[in-house]
Amino acid sequence: MPLPVPLAYPDRIPIARLPTPLERLERTSQRLGVEVLVKRDDLLTGAELSGNKIRKLEFLLAEARARRADTVITCGGQQSNHARATALASARLGMRPLLVLRTADPARPPPPTGNILLDRVAGADIRWISMADWARRDELMAEIAAELTRAGRRPYVVPEGGSSALGSWGYVRAVVEELDPELSALPARSTTLLYACGSGGTGAGLVAGAALCGWGERGIRVAGVNVCDDRDYFVRAIGRICRDFAAAAPAAGLAIRDQDIDIVDGYVGLGYARSRPEELAELLALGRAEGLVLDPVYTGKAFYALVTELARDRDRFGERVVFLHTGGLFGLFPAAEEIGALL
């Protein structure tokens, strides 16, 4: 299916090994009564540098390098996959990572497990901030950038989750270059691409890419499961990034409306990065049935949403679901105790 517009991608550093595999989950398809495929973005570039953030960082770090940055600043929760991916990718490109991470008590930082350990291995300078200061994270990052500039450094700030118009090119490109041809090669079926939504950048790229490829007219939907906040928050957040994207790439002629943004709400559960036993039980069931490992914070919640929604209504997502595995494996280790309790 040719694109309606000639796409000129912004500069990009090819950090990821693409395309990622699209695999059919046989036993899960049988169990859930719909065809289930998984797009393995958890394998985006391999081990430590894995997950959805890599697609965004290809564009964001290209801009950092073009501006001759020597330090990359970003922010996230204490076990942020985005912060870890940014730290490792920056180090790989010869830039120093500085991470602003949220924790309950900055005077007593959490132990270096999971992603924090990898942040340390990448040599990240970590600044711990409280939940209250998180509300002014953009301001804090700008202050740190100004402080570094005064000291003669050249900082580049990546917004939370890499979720900006530039970062969203990562998933526009994933749809145009990979998912669209991959889905076109399969027998035509009503399909939903399901993903976990944390800061909205992945969703914005998918929604914009789907619009460019005319997925709506071909019976292919894109739906996000929010792992924090609520539906309205993400319709606004994704809508804003899509509008910024459309303004920066007017040739695309994109006009995303609120009704084009589908959010499956109701699965935040106990809150961000807090799991219920039933969510972890599904994570374990998938590990046993398919040898596929989800993370408890994002993909585990999205998969639990998939199973629960299908149990209520088999036709909820059409005849085929493409589950986007966005990575996050290292978030599993800090949850060892809770998962262990179910074994």
Closest CA to 324 of 307, 309, 303: 303
Least Cβ distance, residue 284 to ligand PLP (angstroms): 18
Q: Which stretch binds ligand PLP (CB under 6 A): 131-139, 195-203, 252-260, 332-340?
A: 195-203
**Could you tell me if 287 and 339 are in contact, meaning their C-beta atoms sit under 8 angstroms apart?**
no
Partners of 74 in the β-ladder: 99
By CB under 6 A, what part of segment 198-227 binds ligand PLP? 198-203
Binding mask 249-288 for ligand PLP (x = CB under 6 A): ----------------------------------------
Exactly one of 29, 50, 80, 164 is catalytic; name it: 80
Burial readout 248-279 (b: 16 or more C-beta within 10 A, e: otherwise): ebeebebebeeebbbbbbebeeeeebebeeeb
**Could you tell me if 45 and 15 are in contact, meaning their C-beta atoms sit under 8 angstroms apart?**
yes
Q: What is the dihedral of CA 185, 190, 196, 197, to 10 degrees?
A: 110
Query: In what order do the strands lie in the sheet containing 220-226?
Result: 22-24, 35-40, 320-325, 191-197, 220-226, 262-264
By CB under 6 A, what part of segment 41-100 binds ligand PLP? 51-52, 81-82
Q: Does 156 bind ligand PLP (CB under 6 A)?
A: no
Tell me the number of residues near ligand PLP by CB under 6 A.
Answer: 20
Least Cβ distance, residue 206 to ligand PLP (angstroms): 9
Q: Is 35 helix (H, G, I), strand (E, B) or coil?
A: strand
Least Cβ distance, residue 332 to ligand PLP (angstroms): 11
Least Cβ distance, residue 326 to ligand PLP (angstroms): 3
**Could you tell me if 221 and 16 are in contact, meaning their C-beta atoms sit under 8 angstroms apart?**
no
Q: Does 301 bind ligand PLP (CB under 6 A)?
A: no
Pairing of strands 262-264, 320-325: unpaired
By CB under 6 A, what part of segment 281-300 binds ligand PLP? 295, 298-299
Nearer to ligand PLP, 15 or 148 (CB): 15
Least Cβ distance, residue 149 to ligand PLP (angstroms): 27
Least Cβ distance, residue 92 to ligand PLP (angstroms): 18
Nearer to ligand PLP, 74 or 326 (CB): 326
Reading phi first (left if > 0) and then psi (alpha if -120 to 50, else beta), residue 327 is in left
| 118 residue type, one letter | L
Q: Does 196 bind ligand PLP (CB under 6 A)?
A: yes
Q: Cα angle vertex 334, ends 330, 339, to 5°? A: 100
190 is catalytic: no
By CB under 6 A, what part of segment 310-329 binds ligand PLP? 326-328
CA distance 300 to 309: 14
Closest CA to 197 of 134, 246, 267, 141: 267
Least Cβ distance, residue 68 to ligand PLP (angstroms): 27
Nearer to ligand PLP, 298 or 317 (CB): 298
**Could you tell me if 213 and 177 are in contact, meaning their C-beta atoms sit under 8 angstroms apart?**
no
CA distance 273 to 50: 19
Site residues for ligand PLP per CB under 6 A: 51-52, 81-82, 161, 163, 196-203, 295, 298-299, 326-328
Known catalytic residues are 80
